[in-house]
């Protein structure tokens, strides 16, 4: 796993190899990845508000699958407070067939924070037998918080499997009520539910120590 910064712009993932990158609290992240045959790419975007050095994040991740049997996995999580603002743009281009890509991004927004996720999937005519999936899930903790989601699929091939989904809502009040009935106060119940919400993304990190550290930071922010 490699922690990268905004000085790195263009990255090639060699044939047959696996690369995992973490973009941690980067105010400005702009990366272009090119995958060679049989390579696997995993990218994790992390924005945690009260420990960050900037009130705004802008992340752009562009991936070109230029050969067969490539696998791309993009993950992201954001926990925003006050007037924090996070913008994430992803674009996965499937140029050749037999590739796979998945995107999973989750945000929790409180106070007057704002977030936006624009996810693009492009499957070109020669990219037959491609699988491509995209999911964005968000929770708003205040009426002033805002989240904008723009999923975009451009499919020019016939033999593909592709889907996208996006949801934005509030915490499950029935779950909160259930936990309070079992002597768990509302603040603790809220924290437990939000940690469970992020767990799906945290588990995608191969470094278990980093999983634990990020979970501890989430708890400190909530």
Residue 189 lies in a domain: no
pLDDT in tens, 26-64: 888 899 999 999 999 999 999 987 655 557 889 999 999
- Does residue 214 form part of some domain? no
Note if the pTM is more than 0.85: yes
In a domain, 217, yes or no: no
Q: What does the alpha-carbon distance between residue 197 and residue 19 come to, in Å, rounded to a whole number?
A: 26
What's the pLDDT tens digit per position in 145-197?
A: 999 999 999 999 999 999 999 999 998 888 888 887 888 888 888 999 999 99
How far is it between the farthest Cα atoms of the chain? 58
Tell me whether residue 48 is in a domain: yes
pLDDT digits (tens, 9 = 90+) for 75-98: 999 999 989 999 999 999 999 999
In-domain check, residue 21 = yes
CB 156 within 8 A of CB 126: no
| Total number of domains constituting the chain | 1
Domain that holds residue 10: 2-170
With the C-alpha atoms ordered 97, 43, 112, 200, is the resulting torsion angle positive or negative? Answer: positive
Distance between CA 111 and CA 2 in Å, rounded? Answer: 33
- Nearest to 138, CA basis, from 172, 108, 117, 102: 108
Other beta carbons within 10 Å of 109: 26
Distance between CA atoms of residues 125 and 93, nearest Å: 11
Give the 3-state secondary structure of 166-218.
EEEECCCHHHHHHHHCCCCCHHHHHHHHHHHHHHHHHCCCCCHHHHHHHHHHH
> SS3 for 219?
helix
pLDDT digits (tens, 9 = 90+) for 94-143: 999 999 999 999 999 999 999 999 999 999 999 999 999 999 999 999 99
In a domain, 107, yes or no: yes
Which tokens go with 176? 């909160």
CB 76 within 8 A of CB 201: yes
């Amino acid at each position: 796993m490699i922690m990268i910064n905004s000085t790195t712009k263009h990255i090639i993932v060699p044939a047959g190899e696996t690369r995992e990158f973490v973009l941690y609290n980067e105010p400005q992240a702009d990366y272009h990845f090119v995958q060679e045959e049989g390579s696997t790419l995993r990218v994790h975007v992390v924005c945690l508000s009260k420990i960050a050095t900037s009130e705004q994040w802008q992340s752009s991740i562009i991936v070109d699958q230029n050969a067969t049997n490539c696998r791309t996995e993009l993950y992201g999580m954001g926990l925003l407070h006050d007037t924090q603002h996070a913008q994430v743009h992803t674009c996965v281009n499937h140029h050749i067939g037999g590739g796979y890509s998945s995107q999973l991004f989750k945000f929790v927004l409180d106070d007057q924070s704002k977030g936006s996720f624009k996810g693009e999937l492009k499957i070109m005519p020669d990219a037959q037998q491609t699988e491509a999936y995209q999911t964005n899930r968000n929770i708003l903790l205040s009426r002033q918080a805002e989240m904008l989601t723009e999923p975009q699929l451009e499919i020019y091939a016939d033999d593909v499997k592709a889907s996208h989904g996006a949801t934005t809502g509030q915490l499950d009040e029935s779950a909160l009520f259930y936990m309070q009935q079992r002597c768990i106060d509302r603040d603790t119940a809220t924290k437990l539910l939000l940690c469970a919400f992020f767990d799906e993304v945290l588990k995608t990190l191969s470094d278990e120590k980093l999983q634990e550290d990020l979970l501890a930071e989430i708890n400190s922010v909530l």
